[in-house]
Amino acid sequence: MPEQRKTGGLDTPLSARARLFPRFNPNPDAFGSSTEKFARFMGTPQFLVYMTIFCIFWLAWNTWAPEGWRFDSAALGFTALTLMLSLQASYAAPLLLLAQNRQDDRDRVSLSEDRSRAERNLYDTEYLTRELASLRLAMQDVATRDYVRSELRNVLEELLETADGEELHLRAKNPRRKSGQPATGLIPQVDPNPTQHGTQGGK
């Protein structure tokens, strides 16, 4: 029969082995939020003012209070106050590091979102550029309003130049023709006795 392996050895995963103490797993979001709030409070002037007032009260009480009411010896250099401040500093440093790590994570997420947004904007810009280029290529074969206006203006100028040239040519052929007479090429007949025709008509 195959030999049964023992459970709880070094080759067994930690999750399968029995734990002496329950695993402490706090909510990282709630713990991190409270840590950031405390770290922000430690970086405010109010915290410095409160700590200064507390230390002054501690030193004054253990210096001038009655001997029986003192709880920290001034002769020993205020050992309890030094220990308390050391504990506060030892806990404040990890709390500040935890708050900084959370801020770094948020900055990293924000940076990745900004990068993805910039890439989308770049893709949209390239797409619009291609569309504009295709529209320009398509509009080369289409008569636009400005193009039609310019062509009509050119044709009108050519017609005016042609009319002026023909008028000058006819004037050169028939110099007696006045500007108000039609360009027929024939000299109009002038009646030598207009009064005689008028009297005949009156009769």
Q: Over the stretch 73-93, which tens digit does the pLDDT of each residue have?
A: 888 889 999 999 999 989 888
48 and 96 within one domain: yes
Last residue of a domain, one of 113, 128, 156: 113
Whether residue 5 lies inside any domain: the answer is no
Whether residue 63 lies inside any domain: the answer is yes
* Cβ(18)–Cβ(8) below 8 Å: yes
* Per-residue confidence (pLDDT) for residue 61, from 0 to 100: 92
- Domain assignment of residue 159, given as a range: 148-174
- Give tens-digit pLDDT for 144-185: 677 778 888 888 888 888 877 777 666 666 655 544 455 444
Band of residue 59 on the pLDDT scale cut at 50, 70, 90 = very high
Whether residue 192 lies inside any domain: the answer is no
What does the alpha-carbon distance between residue 101 and residue 96 come to, in Å, rounded to a whole number? 9
Name the domain count of the chain.
Answer: 2
34 and 102 within one domain: yes
Tell me the one-letter amino acid at 66: P
Whether residue 46 lies inside any domain: the answer is yes
157 and 97 within one domain: no
- Give tens-digit pLDDT for 3-57: 555 555 556 555 545 566 667 677 777 777 888 888 888 888 999 999 999 999 9
Q: 167: Cβ–Cβ under 8 A, 6 or more apart, which residues? A: 183
Whether residue 67 lies inside any domain: the answer is yes
Spell 61-97 as b/e; 16+ CB within 10 A means b. ebeeeeeeeeebeeeeebeeeeeeeeeeeeeeeeebe
Q: Over 60: is that where the pLDDT of 202 sits?
A: no
> Is 55 exposed, middle or buried (CB count within 10 Å of its CB: 0-12, 13-18, 19+)?
middle
